[in-house]
Amino acid sequence: MQKDNTIVLRVEDIYKNYGNVEVLKGVSFEIKKGETKVIIGPSGSGKSTLLRCINQLTIPDKGRIWLENQEVTHTKKNINQFRQKIGMVFQDFNLFDHLNALRNVEIGLIKVRGMGKDEARQKAIEELKQVGLEEQANLYPAQLSGGQKQRVSIARTLAMDPSVILFDEPTSALDPELIGEVLEVIKKLALNGMTMAVVTHEMGFARSVANEVIFMEDGKIIDQGSPRKLFTNPEHARTRKFLSKITELYGRSAEKK
């Protein structure tokens, strides 16, 4: 795993309220180049909101985000320039329903980066190859399986050459037998040195790929450390309880991956 000590993403003391509900209560962490950080925690703990705060799809009430030493929050630059560099993969894929797989991947290149059509097509085909879907290039989202959709959406994100990719429960909407193919792709990215933050319930994946696991609950980071430390010897009773529950729930399939 290629890793150096440059910090790609720095999240500093993020707060977010929805009305009276405090969703995030001061979350800070950083991701170094080539690192895979896995964020786990019960639903409603603020993981998805945290990811959306990073690319400002949700504007945090307080705190700062830095991408490669440039501040994303309170910036004078156009937020869209940062968003190009912060890839995002969603739980329910959000492929553009009116575009086939290929055009889903190339539209960002053409409309956002202003790339020429031929060049964009070349690159889009390359990215689809990366996720093993060049043969499905002409199929529309409705004609793809869930796993294929998620792989196209990963290709769409990769095409923008992001500095970091945020995965928001990328396998939670998938049938069990389709989870593997998507995790395979994400794992491959990790091995190739992509910088990533992955919110997931797949503990087997967390164990085998993460450089660090963050356990979040109730809008705060409760525990944080190497997967070995967190899974075998968590600092907090709460972390242990959550992990045993999730292992029970997902059983051996989670262990296997």
Partner 1 sequence: MNGINFIKDIVLPPLLEGTWVTIKLLVFSIPLGLLLGILIAGGRVYGNKIISFLCASFTVFFRGTPLLVQLFVIYYGLPSIGIYFSPFAAAVVGFVLCSGAYHSEYIRGAIQSIKSGQMMAAQALGMSKFKAIIYIIFPQALRRALPGCSNEIVYLVKYSSLAFMVTCIELTGAGKIIATRYFRYTEVFLVIGIIYLLMVSVVTRLLSIVEKKLKIPGLG
Say whether residue 70 binds partner 1 (CB under 8 A): no
- HSE (side-chain half, CA atoms, 13 Å) at 131: 30
The amino acid sitting at 161 is D
- CA-CA-CA-CA torsion for 41, 43, 48, 49, nearest 10 degrees? -100
Say whether residue 122 binds partner 1 (CB under 8 A): no
Question: Binders of partner 1 among 154-173, rule CB under 8 A?
Answer: 156-157, 160
Binds partner 1 (CB under 8 A): choice among 13, 28, 30, 111 = 111
Say whether residue 97 binds partner 1 (CB under 8 A): yes
Contact code string over 125-144 relative to partner 1, x by CB under 8 A: ---------------xxxx-
Q: Are strands 212-217 and 220-225 parallel, antiparallel or unpaired?
A: antiparallel
Binds partner 1 (CB under 8 A): choice among 75, 84, 172, 211 = 84
Q: Which stretch binds partner 1 (CB under 8 A): 28-36, 106-114, 184-192, 213-221?
A: 106-114
Three-class secondary structure assignment of 41-52: CCCCCCHHHHHH
Question: Distance between CA 198 and CA 48 in Å, rounded?
Answer: 10
Judged by CB under 8 A, the number of residues near partner 1 is: 29
Q: Which stretch binds partner 1 (CB under 8 A): 27-35, 127-135, 149-157, 228-236?
A: 149-157
Contact code string over 3-42 relative to partner 1, x by CB under 8 A: ----------------------------------------
Token readout for 67 is 């991408």
Continuous H helices in 18-171: 47-54, 79-85, 101-107, 117-130, 146-159
Task: Name the residue with tokens 């059509």.
Answer: 117
Question: Distance between CA 97 and CA 88 in Å, rounded?
Answer: 17
Residues binding partner 1 (CB under 8 A): 55, 57, 80-84, 86-88, 90, 92, 94-98, 107-108, 111-112, 140-143, 153, 156-157, 160
